[in-house]
């Protein structure tokens, strides 16, 4: 497996990097706007760092359907926060969750180290921005759907094969555009362009993604497939299921974990590391 390098930090095989979610949105599915305010968002970053986060992922647009948010408003929400976080935490890896090249360019200038394209390369210029400014790039599988939509009855012949093919193709395209190979990740994007059965299949067969050699990011924290699998649990009751899914993902070789609770995730991943070492010896 390759070394992942972001902002001079190197994460090798067996290393787990925690990516904490900080949303400057008034309608996030998880926190319902709790970190929308600038000061609240900055405090959330501080708490995530204290909890053991290696990366913070700042987002300005809700992933699901909702009010329209144009590029200018997205930039207003995230660019100043990136600047403040960079000043406050010089060694922290800063990621920005965006699928728009114009947003990527502004946040890269503000100090972002990673562009998290959760919508599967709908704007190919984003890879060019990452190459120009030397940032990393997350290449995700969103089922080739329009951003912020929930496709009806989406189907695949083999969801995992589709995920592998698309994400690896996007990663190779990014490298050809000039993004450093060691700064590219792939993400199966659970629940994006997928139903619960698809997300479960990806979770069970994640070793097929990690087996490609590309560093794999998983973003399963409190997602719908976790709640539905466990009997229809609401968002606030999905913590145990999230930790279980993260552990299964880590055991199969996932490298980066996008989560809402950095401290609990650090404890869970430390336990996985100890258990894995014990099983080898």
281 — pLDDT class (breaks 50, 70, 90): low
Which of 166 and 279 is assigned the larger pLDDT? 166
Give pTM, 2 decimals.
0.96
Q: Which of 13-17, 71-75, 159-163 has the lowest mean pLDDT?
A: 13-17
Binned at pLDDT 50, 70 and 90, residue 243 comes out as very high
User: Would you state the pLDDT for residue 125?
Assistant: 98
User: What's residue 154's pLDDT?
Assistant: 94
* Number of domain units in the chain: 1
pLDDT exceeds 70 at position 278: yes
The confidence score (pLDDT) of residue 152 equals 84
pLDDT of residue 121: 95
pLDDT tens across 25-79, in order? 998 888 888 999 999 999 999 999 999 999 999 999 999 999 999 999 999 999 9
Q: What is the pLDDT of residue 1?
A: 65
* CA dist list (Å): 16 to 107, 164, 170, 218, 271: 25, 21, 23, 11, 11
Task: Name the average pLDDT for the chain.
Answer: 96
Write the CATH number for 106.
3.20.20.20
- CB–CB of 43/88 below 8 Å? no
User: pLDDT digits over 85-104, tens only?
Assistant: 999 999 999 999 999 999 99
Instruction: Please write down the HEC assignment for all residues of the chain.
Output: CCCEEECCEEECCCCCEEEEEEECCCCCCCCCCCCCCHHHHHHHHHHHHHCCCCEEEEECCCCCCCCCCCHHHHHHHHHHHHHHHHHHCCCCEEEEECCCHHHHHHHHHHCCCEEEECCCCCCCHHHHHHHHHCCEEEEECCCCCCCCCCCCCCCCCCHHHHHHHHHHHHHHHHHHHCCCHHHEEEECCCCCCCCHHHHHHHHHCCHHHHCCCCCEEECCCCCHHHHHHCCCCCHHHCHHHHHHHHHHHHHCCCCEEEECCHHHHHHHHHHHHHHHHHHHC
Cα 107 from Cα 179, distance rounded (Å): 16
**Residue 279 pLDDT > 80, yes or no?**
no
Tens digit of pLDDT for each residue in 187-224? 999 999 999 999 999 999 999 999 999 999 999 999 99
Closest among 272, 148, 160, 271 to 210, alpha carbons compared? 160
pLDDT tens digits, 118-147: 999 999 999 999 999 999 999 999 999 999
pLDDT at 276 over 90: no
In terms of DSSP bridges, do strands 55-59 and 17-23 run parallel, antiparallel, or are they unpaired? parallel
Residue 118 structural domain: 4-280
Please report the pLDDT score of residue 280 as a whole number. Answer: 58
């Amino acid at each position: 497996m390759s070394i992942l390098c972001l902002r001079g930090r190197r994460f090798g095989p067996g290393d787990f990097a925690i990516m904490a979610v900080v949303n400057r949105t008034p309608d996030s599915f998880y926190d319902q706007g709790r970190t929308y305010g600038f000061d609240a968002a900055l405090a959330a970053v501080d708490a995530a760092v204290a909890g053991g986060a290696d990366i913070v992922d700042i987002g300005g647009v809700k992933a699901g359907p909702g009010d329209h948010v144009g590029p200018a408003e997205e930039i207003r929400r995230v660019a100043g926060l990136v600047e403040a976080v960079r000043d406050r935490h010089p060694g922290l890896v800063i990621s920005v969750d965006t699928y728009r090249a114009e947003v990527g360019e502004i946040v890269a200038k503000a100090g972002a180290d990673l562009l998290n394209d959760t919508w599967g390369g709908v704007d190919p210029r984003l890879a060019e921005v990452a190459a120009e400014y030397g940032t990393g790039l997350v290449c995700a599988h969103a089922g080739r759907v329009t951003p912020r939509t929930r496709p009806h009855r989406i189907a695949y012949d083999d969801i995992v094969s589709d995920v592998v093919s698309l994400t690896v193709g996007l990663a190779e395209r990014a490298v050809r555009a000039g993004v450093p190979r060691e700064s590219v990740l792939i993400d199966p994007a659970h629940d994006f362009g997928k139903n619960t059965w698809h997300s479960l299949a990806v979770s069970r067969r994640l070793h097929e993604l990690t087996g490609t050699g590309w560093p794999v990011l998983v973003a399963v924290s409190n997602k719908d497939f976790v709640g539905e699998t466990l009997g229809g649990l609401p968002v606030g009751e999905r913590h145990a299921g999230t930790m279980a899914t993260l552990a299964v993902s880590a055991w199969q070789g996932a490298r980066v974990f996008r989560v809402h609770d950095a401290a609990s995730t650090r404890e869970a991943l430390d336990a996985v590391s100890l258990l894995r070492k014990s099983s080898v010896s």
